[in-house]
A and B are shown apart, each in its own frame.
Chain A
Amino acid sequence: MKFTLSWLKDHLDTSAPLDVLTEALTDLGLEVEEVVNPAAKLATFTLAKIVHAEKHPDADKLRVCRVLTDEGEKQIVCGAPNAREGITVVLCKPGDYVPGIDVTLGVGKIRGVESHGMMASERELELSDEHNGIIELPSGEVGDRFVDWLAVNRPATVDPMIHIKITPNRPDALAVRGVARDLAARGLGVLKPLAAAVIKGGFPSPIAVAIDADLKAKGCPHFAGRTITGVKNSPSPDWLQQRLKAIGLRPISALVDVTNYFTFGLNRPLHVFDAGKVKGTLRIHAAAGGEEFLALDGKTYTLRPGMMAISDDAGVESLAGIMGGEVSGCSDATTDVFLESAFWDPITIAATGRALKINSDARYRFERGVDPAFTLTGLDLATQMILDLCGGQASDVVQDGAALDVSRAYKLDPARLISLVGMDIPEAVQRKTLEDLGFTLNGDMATPPTWRPDVLGEADLVEEVARIASLTKLQGRPLPRVHTGVPRPILTALQVKERTARRTIAALGYNECVTYSFIDAEAARLFGGGAEAVRIENPISSEMTHMRPDLLPGLLRAAARNQARGFGDMALFEVGPTFTGGEPGEQSLLASGLLIGFVAPRDPFGSRRAVDVFDAKADAEAVLAALGAPARVQISRKVADWWHPGRSGAIGLGPNVLATFGEVHPRVLQAMGVKGPAVAFSVAIAAVPEPKAKTPTRAALTLSDLQAVDRDFAFVVDAKVEALTAVNAALGADKALIDSVRVFDQFTGEKAEAQMGPGKKSIAFTVRLQPREKTLTDAEIEAVCAKIVDKVSKATGGALRA
């Protein structure tokens, strides 16, 4: 919403300076976005007088002038044909910036003659396009500021333009008058009464109006207008053109400019039909669908069923409340007009405007809500203005329907208001504020003015009073603590686990990423996603069409981008939601890490080696341990198909999968443009069970004074026998005595097969026996070892390595 200071002052009697007004506007909720003060760029220019002018010795078209200025007499070379003795001019001195030529002046020498400044034309000062000569002022004294002269003699040229942002609840502030009312309520002036205009019609309107019954119920409760004959449609007067230009509108003709003036001045959009082109009665109706309509913007729109239209016998003449038609539009030749003032249902207007993608000032206002009680008054005021500017005779008003009854009242509870706002605003002030805003108070019931459709309850009264009282003045008051003393913990167990997972993975050397929750369809499908339920209906790009089923695709895409930047080795992770379905809550929290390339840079110690599955496994286990997962878990090979089938596994507790680790499937890597090898892990944070212990107390530490005994075993087994089978078998040999079993070697490959036979490998593990009561005898140790050999042989089908 844009307006000028002088326009505001048409409605507001105020002596407040501009900056006070703009600060107040922002505080009132009418946030000032921009103030353009044309005086600012003219501030340095002063009036001067040419006391002598003669031809330049070396140039026929230049004159050397002696100019009387506030700093004495100066010599200025000037090329203007009208530069002559005795005229009062506008002086730009060396050091001044001249906006129209984008130059900061210096002392110049023109064909050998010094020139101390310049005398400006209108164009050089961006006052108009006039450039036939320098400005000659009919009045003013040497040394006067030019802006002061303009303020008196041509005020529109130095009228500041104010641009404010209007929140959607304030259609009343889409009128200059509404803005003035807020400022008056704030105490920055007095709202001037609106001049009354009661037009006495001289004859019945030749054009009748009729609203279809269905629209009268909802859509168009009230439509009024009148014919004005014998008008002369010429350019509107300067003051009106200046105002419209100042707010960025192009003056068109007096008739059109009047409608724009009412749109912005009083939030009363109007439309003028060329009455000569209207055939028969204007009918307000819902479109049947398929009607074609050439609008004033030059485009043809096809109406859809239900859109509101104004038609005559020839067809649709106006898209009601949104845009008029080209056919019945006004031109310079127009002599008779029909002036429309109507109230349109905001929701219907918004729907039509959206569907046809038309953004007009009328739509903008009708869809937010105009004052339904102002339809006829607005019509009369606009009629008066047309008669004043264009002449002519006005007919009687024709109308159908009646002003919508929006009367309602809400209770003003002064004590509750104070309790909500936390400011001590006396009841009398509360009541006066509401009255200043146009509310009617009857006891403690407040009736909102007809121009405030947004006021729909007691809370709105609170807001109005607080807003006018100024929230800038609000002083903070401490929020009492819920509990006295030390704050209680506030995170849930899952929130704590999420944090722990994140910090643990970072501590393991991974860089945390936050990637988009939506990914492209191809990536989603590679990871078991891409279903219709998780598709976004209106994605912003083809890269972001589906909610992600997993964190790895985002991390892999990130890895590919980093590889493209020349980073080969990386450890990336993310902790975040993945989406299993399209319903609220069908999301789960994962923590995933991705290792690519080598574990370390090249160094003198040979630390560099390619990442492998056991790096990922170790990290997954570290995260699970940090989350308090039990130490005894099962490893399964049942994993999703984006993992390498032979080099991946799932860590589970019974059917509950806690984590997956492994190499990413080479085909997936290739599809996502990542150069491998790449290993990864994913931890399902919520799947990790809560620790059983409910108190911080630890179990007692039991230490044995008896020496533990370590015994090493090596078995020859089939190459596909898993080490864990052997370990579990060994552990089962004597649960009381065996403290731990740890694999320390495996021997596989050609050399192993050469020694042990085709398809064979050896695995070696060490068993620690921890006696509890007495030192073990050799015989006892031998007995346990024999049992271990027996159990492991049976479980693996292997034999002790010779």
Chain B
Amino acid sequence: MDGLDTLKAKYLTAVAGASDESALEDVRLQALGKKGEISALMASLGKMDPDARKAAGANLNLLKDEIDAALRAKKAGLADAALDERLRSEWLDVTLPGRPRPHGSIHPVSQVMEELTAIFGDMGFAVAEGPQIESDWYNFDALNIPPEHPARQEHDTFFMARAADDARPPHVLRTHTSPVQIRAMTAQGAPIRVIAPGRVYRMDMDQTHAPMFHQVEGLAIDRNISMANLKWTLEEFCRAFFEVPSVELRFRASHFPFTEPSAEVDIRCSWEGGQLKIGQGDSWLEILGSGMVHPKVLAAAGVDPTQWQGFAFGMGIDRIAMLKYGIPDLRAFFESDLRWLRHYGFAALDMPDLPGGLSS
């Protein structure tokens, strides 16, 4: 058996001394390979008598297992060492920038339109649309603004060119979203609840005016909708839109041809330190016009004013966007200055919804 101990010592020493995987493989072949020393001894067992074979076989197997285990352990150790060595060479400057990826943005007008839709959609208002080149009937007459009305004569309506042989009055670029009231009621009748956001046009361009801007119209017609319902609806809207715990609105009597009674609506706010805060303070800020839909307007849209009543309101989308997000200049909305778009824009996945909060 001394022979086996010698063998064992020889190969364990050889395993320990192997410096890389190929040297280790050489050792394995010498010992355990088909033509290896231990394999040869195994083969010689067949010539022994059964008793001797049993004892020698057991010892040989033991030796084989022992060498095999040593080989495996050494192999794993060599692999670890090799990996460690490789990792030591694999150094990158991780302060380099990541691969560039474009960042798009959503315009504040689009974002606010979706916020409006989220809030009013929850209250059962659908979204109605109408043409932006509009006939003067829809833009004026149907809204109880007769041709001689001062509002129609103010020099702020854009007119479309009219061919000399066309006797119709020229079409206009809609000056408000109110004609959509008529179109929606004509198409759907009453009861109805819609908002109508969209582009409107007026001949006005200065520090605070652009010849195109955005309005949202609201319309709710049913059997007994009152001005008190209008106030509640607007309070709920403002609270949700401005994302404040509460708001206070003030209705002031006013005049619009298409509503009666009519009210301008102010919201309580403060301007402390030049910062607008909605819902608190001692100032009032005018934010929209509203009223009960004029019976003539209902009639023009084919809705019987003795049976149906309701409210309408209109407000500037750009304006409430400016108030909510602190955007200073209306005209910049339409300038497409990349710096502005990136600063005031919203991420593609910032989709306003009520459960998550509109702007979070």
Contact = CB atoms under 8 A, between A and B. Distances in A.
Given A420-B309, A607-B100, A512 B345 contact: yes
B77 interface: no
Contacts of B347: 506
A304 to B, nearest CB: 17
B104 A511 contact: yes
B34 interface: no
B133 A512 contact: no
Interface stretch (A22-30, A86-94, A646-654, A695-703): A22-30
A20 interface: no
B58 interface: no
Interface stretch (B1-9, B64-72, B259-267): B259-267
B243 to A, nearest CB: 19
Contacts of A547: 133
A355 to B, nearest CB: 11
Interface string A350-394: 110010000000000001100000000000000000000000000
Contact of B201 (A419, A517, A561): A517
A551 to B, nearest CB: 12
A475 B341 contact: no
A492 B253 CA distance: 36
B225 A479 contact: yes
A169 B294 CA distance: 14
Nearest to B306: A416
Chain B residues touching A, range: 35 or more
Interface string B249-286: 11111110000111110000000000000000000000
Contact of A491 (B100, B101, B117, B225): B117
Interface string B325-360: 000000001111111011001011101000000000
A460 interface: yes
A481 B236 CA distance: 13
Given A540-B211, A584-B135, A474 B252 contact: no
B241 to A, nearest CB: 16
Interface string B130-151: 0111110010000000001111
B86 interface: no
A195 to B, nearest CB: 30
A584 B252 contact: no
A564 to B, nearest CB: 11
Given A350-B153, A421-B227, A536 B261 contact: no
A179 to B, nearest CB: 14
Contact of A479 (B123, B255, B261): B123
B143 to A, nearest CB: 14
A472 interface: yes
Interface in A320-370: 346-347, 350-351, 354, 367-368
Contact of A532 (B107, B163, B170): B163
B178 to A, nearest CB: 14
A421 B253 contact: no
Nearest to B228: A422
B148 A462 contact: no
B314 interface: no
Contacts of A488: 124
Contact of B131 (A459, A467, A514, A587): A587
B49 interface: no
A512 B350 CA distance: 14
A482 B222 CA distance: 10
Interface residues of A, number: 105
B131 A585 contact: yes
Contact of A459 (B102, B294, B334): B294
A616 interface: no
Nearest to B341: A511
Nearest to A582: B160
A511 B105 contact: yes
Nearest to B192: A482
B90 interface: no
A535 interface: yes
Interface in B90-142: 96-97, 99-107, 109-110, 114, 117, 121-127, 129, 131-135, 138
A517 B261 contact: no
Given A459-B295, A507-B104, A537 B232 contact: no
Nearest to B113: A499
Contacts of A421: 226-228, 261, 292
Interface in A21-68: 26-29, 31
A474 B228 contact: yes
Interface stretch (A265-273, A598-606, A628-636): A598-606
B161 A582 contact: yes
A442 interface: no
Contacts of A518: 173, 211-212
A290 interface: no
Interface stretch (A243-251, A292-300, A570-578): A570-578
Interface of B: 96-97, 99-107, 109-110, 114, 117, 121-127, 129, 131-135, 138, 148-151, 153, 158-163, 170-171, 173, 191, 193, 199, 201, 203-205, 211-212, 220, 224-235, 249-255, 260-264, 292, 294-296, 309, 333-339, 341-342, 345, 347-349, 351
Closest A-B pairs by Cβ, 6 of them = A509-B102, A422-B228, A422-B226, A476-B232, A29-B253, A558-B336
15 contacts: A28-B253, A169-B255, A346-B148, A458-B295, A466-B227, A471-B263, A476-B233, A487-B121, A512-B106, A514-B334, A558-B335, A561-B336, A572-B336, A584-B171, A600-B100
